[in-house]
């Protein structure tokens, strides 16, 4: 997939941690994409900070309990990652993968198996981020009449997929760094330092497209962790502050997809695989638009006309702008998928002789 956290992308979703949970409010609907998140039993917009749990009240979800509950979902993620790795390995060995076209020296599947494993974790991370976004939009927006799981179970699933998304992104990045160390002929301490800079320091990777794509992936990783885990301290920072911060998680997912399309050697050229990545964004954009048109909170509804005060008019304009922006994104995605003009390259790069040199 990509050469650093995809991500993710997301990132992030309804009332839980995640690298892909869309959100919007009066001040953020005009952003690229956004959608509000809702706690299991809606907290008023200006409600008090939740106090200690009283006798007979349900236990508040904790990071420890959700980590324990995440193992079935995590096991599935590992199995999917293993299947992707086998598929990538076979395609490299048979020289049918575009990765070999981009970087011919990687035709040695056994010699670069760790790089392909990193790619596999990247693709599964993006898939889990996509699912987390879908779950978040379903939980925070209008829900279908019939769902396979109850609301609380969907909320827990959303939290566990979020945690596993963060883990998959981290594994993707760490394996990429390990691959750099493995092929570095310098002393081990120098190799580790160089790999750390290239894999985790923005601007440290200075080759080709990676100069842009790598910082994008790094940003997805560094935003996913704190934004995703804010759910577990929401009772300390207050529900309103938590909602505002958590709504930024959509950025993680956007960065992840951007990183993938820009740097993923598997989707380097035009073709059905790259177009499919664009196609998968269509249900997210459609659910987001539905979420904006039918918000759960009264304060997020769009009045028929702006208010009398300057603040009310500004909020009204932002909400309207957000809805129009997402509607435009839906139209653009349909156009990309229908036309096949998905931004892929039509010809191999002229120089593919340098290690990891994506030009």
Geometric angle at alpha carbon 336, from 96 and 13, rounded to 5°: 90
Question: Residue 257's closest CA among 210, 201, 211, 216?
Answer: 216
Please enumerate in sequence order all residues whose Cβ is within 8 A of that of 68, keeping only pairs 6 or more positions apart, or say none. none
Question: Residue 311's closest CA among 26, 25, 29?
Answer: 26
Cβ proximity of 172 and 221 under 8 Å: no
In the predicted structure, residue 11 carries a pLDDT above the cut 50: no
Whole-number average pLDDT of the chain = 79
Question: Residue 249's closest CA among 3, 18, 1, 15?
Answer: 18
In the predicted structure, residue 130 carries a pLDDT above the cut 90: yes
Residue owning tokens 């008023």: 44
What confidence score (pLDDT) does residue 56 get?
A: 44
Split at pLDDT 50, 70, 90, the class of 351 is low
In the predicted structure, residue 195 carries a pLDDT above the cut 90: yes
Split at pLDDT 50, 70, 90, the class of 145 is low
In the predicted structure, residue 35 carries a pLDDT above the cut 90: no
Measured CA to CA, the distance from residue 142 to residue 96 in angstroms comes to: 43
Geometric angle at alpha carbon 180, from 84 and 191, rounded to 5°: 155
What confidence score (pLDDT) does residue 324 get?
A: 93
List phi, psi (to 5°) of 156: -65, -40
Percent of the chain whose predicted confidence (pLDDT) is above 90: 43
**Residue scoring higher pLDDT (354 or 149):** 149
In the predicted structure, residue 2 carries a pLDDT above the cut 50: no
Query: 3-class DSSP state for residue 294?
Result: coil
Split at pLDDT 50, 70, 90, the class of 172 is very high
**Residue scoring higher pLDDT (8 or 106):** 106
Q: Which pTM value belongs to this model?
A: 0.78
Q: Report, as an integer, the average pLDDT of 161-166.
A: 95
In the predicted structure, residue 347 carries a pLDDT above the cut 70: no
In the predicted structure, residue 68 carries a pLDDT above the cut 90: yes
CA 318 → CA 244, 264, 326, 329, distances in Å? 15, 34, 12, 16
In the predicted structure, residue 260 carries a pLDDT above the cut 80: yes
Span 286-330, pLDDT tens digits: 998 988 888 777 767 777 777 778 777 787 888 888 899 999 999
Nearest-Å Rg of the Cα atoms of the chain is 21
In the predicted structure, residue 259 carries a pLDDT above the cut 90: yes
CA count, 13 A, side-chain hemisphere, 230:
27
Question: Residue 249's closest CA among 26, 4, 70, 31?
Answer: 31
What confidence score (pLDDT) does residue 190 get?
A: 93
Q: Report, as an integer, the average pLDDT of 45-55.
A: 44
Taken in order 213, 216, 218, 221, the sign of the CA dihedral is negative
- Among 19-33, 128-142, 326-340, the least confident range: 19-33
What confidence score (pLDDT) does residue 348 get?
A: 60
Cβ proximity of 331 and 180 under 8 Å: no
Q: Report, as an integer, the average pLDDT of 46-74.
A: 70
Q: Which two tokens stand for residue 85?
A: 């790795």
Span 80-110, pLDDT tens digits: 999 999 999 999 999 888 888 888 888 888 8
Measured CA to CA, the distance from residue 337 to residue 334 in angstroms comes to: 5
């Amino acid at each position: 997939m990509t050469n650093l956290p995809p991500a993710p992308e997301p990132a992030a979703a309804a009332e839980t941690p995640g690298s892909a949970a869309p959100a919007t409010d009066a001040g953020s609907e005009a952003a690229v994409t956004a959608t509000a998140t809702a706690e299991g039993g809606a907290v008023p917009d200006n409600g008090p900070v939740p106090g200690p749990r009283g006798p007979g009240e349900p236990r508040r979800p904790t990071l420890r309990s959700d980590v324990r509950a995440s193992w079935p979902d995590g096991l599935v993620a590992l199995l999917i990652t293993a299947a992707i790795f086998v598929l990538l390995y076979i395609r490299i060995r048979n020289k049918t993968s575009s990765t070999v076209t981009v970087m011919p020296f990687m035709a040695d599947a056994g010699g670069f198996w760790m790089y392909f494993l990193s790619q596999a974790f990247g693709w599964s991370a993006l898939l889990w981020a996509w699912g987390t976004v879908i779950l978040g939009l379903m939980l925070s927006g209008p829900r279908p009449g019939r769902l396979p799981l109850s609301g609380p179970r969907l909320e827990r699933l959303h939290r566990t997929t979020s945690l596993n998304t963060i883990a998959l992104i981290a594994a993707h990045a760490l394996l990429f760094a390990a691959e750099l160390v493995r092929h570095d002929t310098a002393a081990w301490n120098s190799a580790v330092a160089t790999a750390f800079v290239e894999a985790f320091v923005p601007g440290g990777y200075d080759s080709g497209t990676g100069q842009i794509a790598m910082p994008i992936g790094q940003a997805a990783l560094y935003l996913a962790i704190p934004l995703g885990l804010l759910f577990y301290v929401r009772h300390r920072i207050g529900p309103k502050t938590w909602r505002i911060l958590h709504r930024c998680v959509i950025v993680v997912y956007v960065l992840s997809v951007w990183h993938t399309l820009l740097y993923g050697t598997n989707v380097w050229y035009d073709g059905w695989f790259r177009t499919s990545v664009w196609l998968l964004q269509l249900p997210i954009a459609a659910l987001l638009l539905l979420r904006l048109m039918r918000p759960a909170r009264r304060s997020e509804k769009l009045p028929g006309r702006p208010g009398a005060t300057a603040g009310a008019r500004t909020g009204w304009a932002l909400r309207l702008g957000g809805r129009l922006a997402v509607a435009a994104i839906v139209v653009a995605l349909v156009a990309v998928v229908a036309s096949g003009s998905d931004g892929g390259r039509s010809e191999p790069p002229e120089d593919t002789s340098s290690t990891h040199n994506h030009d």
